[in-house]
Chain A
């Protein structure tokens, strides 16, 4: 599943409760049965596709399962997989670093671009729909293999980037110092989705606030700092959580641009790409399971940290 979350689930947890129950207790019993009938596919999925596989992978993470030998030959290795991750697997630590750098650079840049363009577009009356739609287009196409192939070609030695700027540059994809940078640019290029959400948020800020501020002699910058940013903070928070979870899971572009290796010398070895390599090139499913669980815990901690800092900078208006 693409890591998509609904705004209301994060921004307004209180509204995410089932609505008031029916007022007719006579039908209660019939409805009770019907509720389970309608939920049957979901419950099957929850058990079979989510819960049981998750527990299974937790168990596997303590074994040396390799996919090829039968289950009877699987050996319990205790915490060895986890110890290996942090002890003697330089690739792993490298992958963690690459993923963190990507997330910490690409996400703020993407959100900054989204906010900047949204503010520019918000006051613009003409062609707003056109601009909004066309800026959004890369978000729909950017995650595809096709665009990753385009990126690979654009940043090559005689690619469009070097030629456009008249550079005698290298093949940026093959440069360990720059390869991840091209992925960051590809990520930032897809700023349209958060931009659309920012635009919707900007429409919610009452214009009277800006009028009152300008009467009080506030300039544009002060209005932005004291009205726009606080008013938009729930939306910024929502986008931040969403894009962070999404960013850390990047796979397709890193895979295609590096030809499946995460190279050059692991420069684009995103976490999921290393997990894929471990599981499907080296058949170390036990180790890959341990990596997946560490990833889950890490994402949970990062999300929890974001939520706890949110208390200090996210302002909910009285009518939200």
Chain B
């Protein structure tokens, strides 16, 4: 009996938690006259018209925004994975002067609030002439600035048995061969976790994209969504929600496909989404 009560409590809480998401989904399919003041999760006369309407609500269609977002997120994933893997290998496996100090500095940058750097970054990238290009959004990722992923990979690499290194060394492998033949193939789970979180964080990122992308042809999905407020006001809730739903779909797809892995990633490393 007590168990049943607990289950009911959890289900009730789950309903509250999921309601905003389901309401957004339902609203995107409701006809205009049904949207305002409606709390139901089921449209009485479902319509898909908000989707094409929203897709072309601005002078530039959402296919451009989605392409821009995908390019930036894709390059961020590649940059993060490659550059952080290199750094993580050095920290986890190689011996060189200053390693302890560098490692401490890297841990220090983990705690650095990113918003502290937006002003000097903007000035720097503005000076480079990088405004309205994707460079300010992807170049830092190629330089291993997301220390979080370095740490995740270092932690993972420490679990790879050192006997493998020793065996390869006896066969004459140097640090570069070790990296390619042993660490890269075995670190794949850590790479996948890093890739997923890089993707989700870059996809959802708003502040830096708002700062650096102004031209309508260049902006990303989150920046475009925000334009719904400026250009159309409260009357176009349907199209706005339709595009909101689409903007969350990639993240949701990753969640469904890799749910276990994401939760595992948080469990083992203390990562948060």
Q: A42-B150, A256-B226 known; A133 and B263 CB under 8 Å?
A: yes
Q: Tell me whether B111 and A245 are in contact (CB under 8 A).
A: yes
- By beta carbon, the residue of chain B nearest A7 is B270
* A131 within 8 Å of B (CB atoms): yes
Residues of chain A within 8 A (CB-CB) of B24 are: 146-147, 150
Question: Is B29 on the interface with A (CB-CB < 8 A)?
Answer: no
Chain B residues within 8 Å of chain A by Cβ, number: 109
Contacts of A288 in B (CB 8 A): 119
| Least distance between B213 CB and chain A CB atoms (Å) | 13
Asked if residues A131 and B211 are in contact (CB atoms below 8 Å), the reply is no
Q: B87 to A272, Cβ gap below 8 A? A: no
- Chain A residues lying within 8 Å of B206, measured Cβ to Cβ, are 144-145, 251-252, 255-256
CB A290 to nearest CB in B, in angstroms, measures: 10
Closest chain B CB from A18 CB (angstroms): 6
Minimum CB–CB distance for A83 against chain B, Å: 19
- Contact present for B273 and A193 (CB under 8 Å): yes
- The verdict on A189 contacting chain B, using a C-beta distance below 8 Å, is yes
Within 8 A of B (CB), among A41-68: 41-46, 48-50, 53-54, 56-57, 60, 65, 67
Which A-B residue pairs are the 7 nearest by beta carbons? Answer: A7-B270, A45-B143, A35-B96, A53-B120, A146-B244, A34-B175, A38-B90
A4 near B271: Cβ-Cβ < 8 Å: yes
Question: Does B182 count as interface, using CB distance less than 8 angstroms?
Answer: no
Q: List 11 A-B contacts (CB under 8 A).
A: A6-B155, A32-B96, A34-B174, A36-B90, A45-B144, A53-B121, A133-B255, A146-B244, A149-B240, A242-B270, A272-B115
A154 vs chain B, min Cβ distance (A)? 6
| Least CB separation from A193: chain B residue | B272
Q: Which residues of A contact B19 (CB under 8 A)?
A: 160
The answer to whether A245 touches B113, judged by C-beta atoms less than 8 angstroms apart, is yes
Give every chain B residue within 8 A of A34 (Cβ-Cβ): 90, 94, 96, 174-176
**Chain A window 1-35, contacts with chain B (Cβ cutoff 8 Å), 1 for yes, 0 for no:** 11111111111000011110111100110111111
Instruction: Classify chain A's interface size.
Output: 35 or more
Does B185 belong to the interface (CB within 8 Å)? Answer: no
Question: Is residue B63 contacting chain A, with contact meaning CB distance below 8 A?
Answer: no
Q: B145: which of A40, A50, A123, A256 is its contact (CB, 8 Å)?
A: A50
With A41-B142, A50-B109 in contact, is A150–B270 under 8 Å at CB?
Answer: no
Check if A92 is an interface residue, CB within 8 A of chain B.
no
Complexed CA–CA distance, A152 and B23 (Å): 13
Alpha-carbon distance A220/B269, docked complex (angstroms): 30
- Secondary structure type dominating chain B contacts: helix
Interface residues of A in 153-182 (CB under 8 A from B): 153-154, 156, 158-160, 163-164
Q: Quote the shortest CB–CB distance from A309 to chain B (angstroms).
A: 17
Residues of A within 8 A of B229 (CB): 149, 152, 256, 259
Interface segment out of the listed A135-143, A223-231, A311-319: A135-143
At the interface, yes or no: A279 with Cβ under 8 Å from chain B? yes
- For residue A299, CB closer than 8 A to chain B, the reply is yes
Interface residues in A106-160 (C-beta closer than 8 Å to B): 117, 120-121, 123-124, 126, 129, 131-141, 143-147, 149-154, 156, 158-160
Query: Residue on B with the closest CB to A141?
Result: B248
The answer, yes or no, to whether A100 is at the interface (CB within 8 Å) is no
Evaluate contact between A196 and B89: CB separation under 8 angstroms. no
The reply to whether A292 and B158 contact each other, CB–CB distance below 8 Å, is: no
Note all chain B residues with C-beta closer than 8 A to A43: 102
B123 near A285 (CB under 8 angstroms)? yes
Contacts of A131 in B (CB 8 A): 10, 14
A152 to B226 alpha-carbon distance, docked (Å): 12
> In this complex, what residue of A is CB-closest to B201?
A2
Q: Mark B85-124, 1 if CB is under 8 A from A, else 0.
A: 0110111101111011011011101111111111111111
Which listed residue, A30, A32, A147, touches B20 by the CB 8 Å rule? A147
